[in-house]
Amino acid sequence: MKSLEVRVPHSLGRDEVRRRLDAAIVRARDEYAEKVGGIDASWEGEDRLKLMLTVMGMDIDSEVDILVEELVVRVEVPGMAGLFAGRIKDGIQERLGGLLGAPTV
32-87 tens-digit pLDDT: 877 777 889 999 999 999 999 888 788 889 999 999 999 999 999 887 777 788 88
pLDDT band at 104 (very low <50, low <70, confident <90, very high): very low
User: Taking the domains of the chain in order of start, what are their residue ranges?
Assistant: 2-100
Distance between CA atoms of residues 6 and 91, nearest Å: 10
Which residues, including other chains, have CB under 8 Å from residue 26's CB and lie 6 or more apart?
Answer: none
pTM of this prediction?
Answer: 0.85
| Residue 15 in this model has a pLDDT that exceeds 50 | yes
Query: How confident is the model at residue 7, as a pLDDT?
Result: 95
Distance of CA 41 to the CA centre of its chain: 10
What is the third-level CATH fold of 2-100? Alpha-D-Glucose-1,6-Bisphosphate; Chain A, domain 4 (3.30.530)
